[in-house]
Amino acid sequence: MPPGCDVYLITGACGFLGERISRLLLEEEPGLAEIRLFDKIARPELTQSLQASCSQTKVSMFEGDIRDSQLLRRACRGASLVIHTASIIDVHGAVEYSELHGVNVKGTQLLIEACIQESVGSLIYTSSIEVVGPNPQGDPVTNGDEDTLYAAHLKFPYSRTKQEAEQLSLRANGEALRNGGRLVTCVLRPMYIYGEGCRFLLRHMGNGIRNGDVLQRLSRPDATVNPVYVGNVAMAHLHAARALRDPDRRPLVGGNFYFVSDDTPPISYSDFNHAVMSPLGFTIQERPFLPYALLFLLSFLMELLQRLLRPFLQYNPPLNRQLLTMVNTPFTFTYRKAQKDIGYTPHYSWEESRKRTTDWLASRLPQEREQIKTH
């Protein structure tokens, strides 16, 4: 397809990551003919804002469910590349498995089929570090890479559905398209993503406000992970898209997965929350309010209560065993392979990423305090 004719489709385009990818593509790829935004709930103001930022590239919106095969085919028609970020993220077991599987797995399968039927040449699937682990035993990984062997033994529904969708995407590499071409796919596995718009950070800040501006400690200081800034994850998608358009790199990248991290220093989840909120006056507990073994037992009992109550009412425990294991397991990975194969290098330093995140949290702090005060 000649330059200026490329059409990109982004699923989950109105979400935390999808919006950043959309804005970055308009900034860095002004020669695109069209960017199509696909999301369950349309945000007309986002479409207008994106269109106003780049008059050369058409911005259009497809509103609907990722499980709507006919809508997917219309959205894919004439597109050259799809970036698939749409999924349900559920770390508390609040969503029924059928819904998780339907969106995360079945939706991905239908999207792949639409790509094949409409001869879309390239697909980037946004996966998650949780397709790797940590496993229930809490086996650690330090500075791992794509060749690191690890027994995942995933039990949490969200992790399993993301892993299944990832495998569908990788197996689709090389599938014959209706126009005689071949579908080329790759997978990006970001670490925990933070930055402006991160709802998990807002939740932690809200809990800290309720606790007298003291952040709760759930993870041990030595349980280091490497969170990644949302702007750098968007940059990785841009580089992956460029690699898939490059005839020389396309065969190298196709069928591969890549960890996406940046230069955020290894830090525990709890200490990371403190790092971005301490400028706002928050302190942090020195140790968890209960020993780890008791927290694990409490998590088990809350999960048991959730299962017993599920036929009658919705109970979502604030903690479960997988989440507790995840935040207490050292689990870090390098981005070297992504740097080598797709040319990804973090655009934002840790200092800038932290400042942007802290400034955003500062802008939300009065509203969060008021909401908590009135409730």
365 contacts: CB under 8 Å, gap ≥ 6:
205, 280
Eight-state DSSP code of residue 4? T
Query: What pLDDT is stored for residue 235 in this prediction?
Result: 98
Q: Is the pLDDT of residue 363 over 80?
A: yes
Note if 8 is an active site residue: no
How much is the mean pLDDT over the chain?
Answer: 93
Torsional sign, CA 13, 18, 23, 28: negative
Mean pLDDT computed over 257-272: 97
d(CA 362, CA 354): 12
> Please, which residues bridge with residue 58 across strands?
34
Q: Are 310 and 124 in contact (CB under 8 A)?
A: no
| Per-residue model confidence (pLDDT) at position 4 | 52
Are 263 and 350 contacting, i.e. CB atoms less than 8 angstroms apart? yes
| pLDDT at residue 268 greater than cutoff 50 | yes
| DSSP H or E stretch at residue 201 | helix 199-210
Strands 81-84 and 7-11: parallel
Range 216-229 average pLDDT: 95
Quote the longest CA-to-CA distance of the chain: 63
- pLDDT tens for each residue of 131-177: 999 998 999 999 999 999 998 887 788 999 999 999 999 999 999 99
Report the SS3 class of residue 214.
strand
Burial of 82 (0-12, 13-18, 19+ CB in 10 A): buried
* C-alpha span between 316 and 303 (Å, rounded): 9
Over range 66-70, report the average pLDDT: 96
Residue 106: DSSP 8-state: I
Domain ranges of the chain: 7-198+228-265+333-349
CA pair distance 263, 254, nearest whole angstrom: 26
Residues 8, 97, 150, 158: which is the catalytic one? 158
Q: 240 exposed, middle or buried (CB, 10 Å; 0-12, 13-18, 19+)?
A: buried
**CA 181 to each of CA 77, 105, 115, 176, 361: distance values in angstroms, whole numbers, following the listed order:** 15, 25, 11, 6, 47
Query: Does residue 1 have a pLDDT over 50?
Result: no
7-198+228-265+333-349 CATH pick, 3.40.50.300, 3.30.300.250, 3.40.50.720, 3.40.1160.10: 3.40.50.720
Q: Which two tokens stand for residue 63?
A: 């509103």
Tokens 């559905």 belong to residue: 161
CA atoms within 13 A on the CB side of 57: 29
pTM: 0.94
pLDDT in tens, 298-333: 888 988 888 888 778 878 788 888 889 999 999 999
